[in-house]
Structure 1
Amino acid sequence: MDTDQLEGLVAQVHRLLVEDPDRPVTPSWMWSLGLYRSVVLVLFLLRQNPVQAAAGELFGISQATVSRRWTTLLPVVEKALAGHVPAPAEGSAGRVVLIDGTLVTTWDWAGEGTAMFSGKHRDTGFNLQIAATLAGDLLAVSDPVPGSRHDVFAWSQSHFPEAFAERDKLGDLGYVGTTIRTGRRRPPGRDRPAGDKEANRSINTLRAAVERAMAHLKDWKVLATRYRGPLTRFPNIVKAVTALAFYKKGW
């Protein structure tokens, strides 16, 4: 994010804080850290996913202050950038849509472990569905679902089926049985025909672009390294990171 984009984001956050009559704080007195550096702190937490005590040492504030800034400003940053997220149907017009799922690992919170545990990945986390173009440009990110649910379920529970209903879609074998075009499974008890192997190879070559889009999204390390915060806050984090990814590209 360049300086102009950062300053523009801070200005939008300031406007929302001033205009919200129900918010108990205002930018004029809220922090010795200052609004600009407070927004930078939130972006740093999303980008690097450090423990809050370490972030506090870098910014010269206490862990408790870091926690308050994070809790207060994360939803405001998300709201400020929401208008920069294009509608999936609009962004995908005339394009082939690539679909893939990824697990964002989380702490194994007591009482949530079974729902969050992914047998495929042997770890706890959330399943996110990612949509991208053949050029590797991000189109959309779904709401998270517990990691125990497979990609077909996560796809069906997202807004993707409706948003991309009129688009050609490609996915891996995990989406067999949906409207997404996939490769072909090996027939039981037989070798995969040469034609199927070639078709699968072609699809996999094209699908590499969605993996690039996913890798760029996970440059925000809160999605790439283990998430330690309350699980109820994670959907807001996904929305904020998605909005930042589009905002950074100039949407």
Structure 2
Amino acid sequence: MHLATETWTDLDAVETDVALLPVGSTEQHGPHAPLGTDTLNAEAVAEAAAEKYADPVVVAPAIPVGVAEEHRRFTGTLWTAEDTFRAYVRDVVASLASHGWDHVVVVNGHGGNIAALGEVTARITRRDEAFAVPFTWFDEVGEHSSDMGHGGPLETSLLRHANPETVHEDRLDDAAENGSDRWGDWQGRVNLAVDSHEFTENGVVGDPRDGSAERGEELMERATDALVELLDVIRERETGPRDGY
């Protein structure tokens, strides 16, 4: 059940303590994919898992702006500081928990959010009246994970499957030819680049032409199955501040 499309009275009657909070970003994804790619993909996985899960699951509205300053040179990119982002996520989880939805999976679609989400969900679980964990969909797709770039084959594939109207198919050649085949500017194991424009002309990393709607369907199935399995596990966890806090 999606909070944004239900009435409060209908939600009040739902018997569940499990919620999904999609988190994405508003940032460039090359000339072929929308700035909302990460948010769209996180929402799609969350909604598919909620539909597939045997028991009711509440899906919260997505958080569309994340930790994305590395894309600041590309028009339209929005970002927030990590401490602001963590505080916002914590507040939203607390809101969910106040209604009894105190087992929360934060479904993430943006690599730049990963470190902040790991920290804040641990803080929530240690100190708040909730149990929260992060789930990044592209880490849960088996061998496909090694093909992750930026606006590359994985993100483009999932868009082609779940939101095909958002992909500019006629720009894929340009996206591939003026992008980068690797994230960063490396000297040994040290990344010298701070922002993405330093190593990719158009913001793309990876070849989006290696993606397809069929591949996107497989990615969706794998990510959804992993998230459904996670829901089974987290609902058994105790909530509330840990001893010593």
Q: Does TM, normalized by the shorter one, top 0.5?
A: no
Tell me the TM-score normalized by structure 2.
0.26
Tell me the TM-score normalized by structure 1.
0.26
* Higher-Rg member (1/2): 1
